Amino acid sequence: MNKINILAVDDEPDIGRLLQEILEDEGYAVMVAESGAAARRLRAERKPDLILLDIWMPNEDGITLLKEWLRDDPLCPVIMMSGHATVETAVEATRLGAYDFLEKPLSMAKLLVTVERALENAKLKRENIGLKRRAEAPIEPVGKSAAMERLRDQIRRLAQHDAPVLLVGEPGSGKETLARYLHANSPRRDGPFVDVGVGTIAPAYSAVEFFGRVDGLDEIQHGLLEQAHGGTLFLSEVADMEEETQIRLMGALESGSFSRVGGSELLHVNVRVVASTRKPLEEEVRAGRFRRELYYLLNVVTLKVPPLAEHSEDVPELLNFYVDYFVSREKLPFRKFPVPVQNFLRHYPWPGNIRELKNLVQRLLILGSGEEVELEEVKAALGESLAGPVSPSQPDFYDLPLKDARERFEKAYLEYHLEKYAGSVARLSQAIGLERTHLYRKLNSLGIKFKDKR
């Protein structure tokens, strides 16, 4: 088990040594800094679990550091120390977010109790955030069909092991929901679940995205691997990953360690990797588009996620689930899908799978009226999907290189949908199934001024 890291910041060397000796005897790993600059460097190199911070130091006071560090990581408890502080200073420190205040000369018994309570308080906060995150997401995959029962059973059994899992299925078939369900049933359930749309990460930025960055002594950016430490890293649609990104990620996953860009310390992470793909990775490997070594790392256990058309008996339950979901989450008016409409939708081919069904329910609740959904309005909402594919004229970007063509398409696609949803990035994220953080990054990389469309 990794030791808890404590950073002790005090300009008096004797106090720093005393804190180090006492806390290391209790089993903690302790770093000592005698100035604000040294403290920043140590904090950037090794993220502490708790900080003991002197208020009065040469060149820089502890209150300034407290404000800075709590902005960066509000979950890391900071205990202030001072030998000649006023009551007002102690009150100000706790008002700003310090966990507690210790007077010098330090009582070692009070120090140890305060440290223990601060760490327990931080643990409870992280657990509450994890519980809130799980409560906000529809974790359990919906459906009583044999296919879904079998899939849930496989996921529950796999959740007890740390082997990488590869989820293979069509877009919109529920791969992310299954990844979250696996995480929620695993021993890592109280750790973070970090969702990464790897296809949206440009190769030039992949090292910073995955490993983080240190800029001098003041700024630190925690990468995706570090954010997922102790939890699950979900790599969505890995077949879209650029080769340079594949190489960097492969090295980190093989060794379980990396250094931040601009940093020198080797960081070790403990993450469970779950990946998804809509494309058969074996074919991508044979075509030279996906590295064989990374394929073997990710493909320890493969689960096939069936398209909705293969378990269409679950359609009525999914309809009811998403009606309740939008009524409770978005306060949309309740509407019932009568049996004839349910039967019609059971026989619809669902090319967009569960995501298409979810979007259909949302659209009918927003735009429809009346207590029951009518069959004709369902047909009108499905529109072109019922009419079958139309042969379009050849787009002008067909003659461009693949990378340029993809960027042209993505820009046009996102601009169209952003206009459709009146500039709301939140609604756009939900409609196209791309996590909001990755969507902001994609909009910026394509030069789409989404704020101007609000």
CA 348, 350, 351 angle in degrees (round to 5)? Answer: 135
Lowest-pLDDT choice from 140-154, 220-234, 251-265, 389-403: 389-403
The pLDDT value given to residue 378: 94
Exposure string for 314-333, b = 16+ CB within 10 A, e = fewer: bbbebbebbbebbeeeeebe
Pick 438 or 193 by higher pLDDT: 193
The pLDDT value given to residue 454: 41
SS percent in the chain: helix, strand, coil, step 5: 55, 15, 30
Give residue-wise pLDDT tens across range 236-281: 999 988 888 888 888 888 888 888 888 777 888 889 999 999 998 9
- Structure confidence at residue 447 as a pLDDT band (50, 70, 90): confident
CA 284 from chain centre, in angstroms, equals 26
Question: Does domain 144-304 fall into CATH 3.40.50.300?
Answer: yes
Give residue-wise pLDDT tens across range 35-46: 888 888 888 777
**Calpha distance 408→413 (Å, rounded):** 9
Assess whether pLDDT exceeds 90 at residue 115. yes
| Strand-pair partners of 31 | 7
Question: Does domain 310-387 fall into CATH 1.10.8.60?
Answer: yes
Helix (H, G, I), strand (E, B) or coil at 64: helix
DSSP 8-state assignment for residue 217? T
On whether the CB atoms of residues 288 and 154 are closer than 8 A, the answer is no
Lowest-pLDDT choice from 22-26, 385-389, 422-426: 385-389
Q: Going by DSSP bridges, is the β-strand pair 267-268/257-258 parallel, antiparallel, or unpaired?
A: antiparallel
Give residue-wise pLDDT tens across range 408-428: 788 888 887 887 777 777 778
DSSP 8-state assignment for residue 261? B
**Calpha distance 179→167 (Å, rounded):** 8
Q: Going by DSSP bridges, is the β-strand pair 272-277/165-168 parallel, antiparallel, or unpaired?
A: parallel
Assess whether pLDDT exceeds 80 at residue 51. yes
The pLDDT value given to residue 396: 59
Assess whether pLDDT exceeds 60 at residue 392. no
Which secondary structure element, helix H or strand E, spans residue 213, and what is its range?
Answer: strand 212-215
**Calpha distance 314→260 (Å, rounded):** 46
Assess whether pLDDT exceeds 60 at residue 218. no
**Calpha distance 51→69 (Å, rounded):** 10
Crossing angle between the packed helical segments 315-330 and 339-346, to the nearest 10 degrees = 120
Within 10 A of 384 (CB to CB), how many other CB atoms are there? 8
Amino acid code (one letter) for 431: A
Q: Where would I find the H helices in 73-145?
A: 87-96, 108-136
Which secondary structure element, helix H or strand E, spans residue 219, and what is its range?
Answer: strand 219-222
Which residues, in sequence order, are CB contacts of 8 under 8 Å at separation 6+?
16, 19, 20, 23, 30, 31, 32, 33, 51, 52
Amino acid code (one letter) for 294: L
**Which whole number is the average pLDDT over 131-157?**
80
Pick 404 or 135 by higher pLDDT: 404
What is the topology classification, in CATH, of domain 396-453? Arc Repressor Mutant, subunit A (1.10.10)
**Which whole number is the average pLDDT over 164-180?**
94
Give residue-wise pLDDT tens across range 277-329: 999 899 999 989 899 999 999 989 999 999 999 999 999 999 999 999 999 98
Q: Which CATH class is domain 5-129?
A: alpha beta
The pLDDT value given to residue 138: 47
The pLDDT value given to residue 285: 92
The pLDDT value given to residue 351: 92
The pLDDT value given to residue 180: 93
The answer to whether 5-129 and 396-453 have equal CATH topology is no
Give residue-wise pLDDT tens across range 63-108: 889 988 888 788 899 999 987 766 777 788 888 889 998 888 888 8
The pLDDT value given to residue 417: 81
| Strand-pair partners of 168 | 277, 304
The pLDDT value given to residue 384: 58
Q: What burial class does residue 287 get, using C-beta atoms within 10 Å of its C-beta: 0-12 exposed, 13-18 middle, 19+ buried?
A: exposed
Domain edges within the chain? 5-129, 144-304, 310-387, 396-453
User: Of 183, 304, 295, which Cα lies nearest the Cα of 238?
Assistant: 295
